[in-house]
Structure 1
Amino acid sequence: GQIAQLESPQSMANLAIQLEQVGVHLMACQTERRRFHGSLADMTAAREATTVPMICRDLIVDPYQIHEARCYGADVVPLQVGILEQARLESLLDRIESLGMVALLEVRNPEEVDRVMHAGGTVVGINAWSLTSDALHREAFAEIVPGLPESVIRIAVGGVESPKDLLSYASSGADAIMVGESVMTAQSPSALARGLVATGQHPACPSRKL
């Protein structure tokens, strides 16, 4: 599957509709205000305009944020493993699942993968972007994914600018690709998304049998 990430506070519903029409399977909406100027209202607009599941893109550190995300229409909530102590990680994971949502556990190194497995996570996002800088490490997925059990859903996050990047992640075992900045800054977001979706659905694109 392919995931497109929404950032613009304007025309959120129209953009979401366009992305669903070109075949995006799952959408993510920025709700973090300080760095990305997103809002929960944006996510609600996208949620109401589409039928595909919605990810709330924010730094989640408190159970209140999880309830808030659910109230505003989120189906998936991300947890940045690197900024959470193990007890809090497990507590937030339990809270997400208790509300009928899916926890996307985002990791950046093998040690964080070990913590996810201990917590019982089943959906893992391997994020190529550093949490502390603008550094991008596309090789992180290929380096980290061998440590994941076959039953875990693997999502590649960050660094996709073209179908070639998508194929690279797929060949390393990605089940889905999260695409954000490149889609949102494209001259035609829907055209780029359409091309990525077509690449992901092509018979030549590697895929795992879950």
Structure 2
Amino acid sequence: PESLSVERLTELALARRPDLSERAAASRQARALASLARREAMPSLELRGVSEPDEAGGRFARAGVGITVPLFNRNRGEEAARLAEAEQADLEQAALFARTRAEIARAIAAYGTAWEQAETLRTTVLAPARENRQLLEIAYRAGKVGLPVLLLIRNQVIDAELEYWEAWLAAREALTDLREATAETVVAAPGP
């Protein structure tokens, strides 16, 4: 399965999975709140304008300028708390990304192993076993072999088919795990 790339599927998961998008948004929000807390500790300039009626029946306008200087409340505690929240959100995002990448790599490896096993069983074990069974049934009808030998070969063919279908199922389960990890249907070709 050369078509399955951990990098490509991880990028796909980053674009499609809502939990990864949510963690990225939480990280951005925490950084924005930390930046806001930092700016609140800076001096604030305020411009004011007032228009009032005067005694002569006209309008009187006044302008004013004010500045707020935070001498005692520099908002350091709030800023530190927001930065800690941002760092925690970044770490949670990195952990989720690493876990997702590991899930994808594990599913790709499981699929590759199961696919190879199913292909090997199909070509080297199952096909010859089915052919032997057919030849043995012909020999049994001709009276050249006994019933115990025929039943033994049939059991061996059934065991081979069971192994093949178990490997086939393992490959499909790995593809299901890959779909869950990427939030996308992954078509792996060729497949068993």
Q: Structure 2-normalised TM-score?
A: 0.19
Structure (1 or 2) with the greater strand fraction? 1
TM-score (norm 1): 0.18
Structure showing greater Rg:
2
Higher relative contact order (CA 8 A, sep 6+): 2
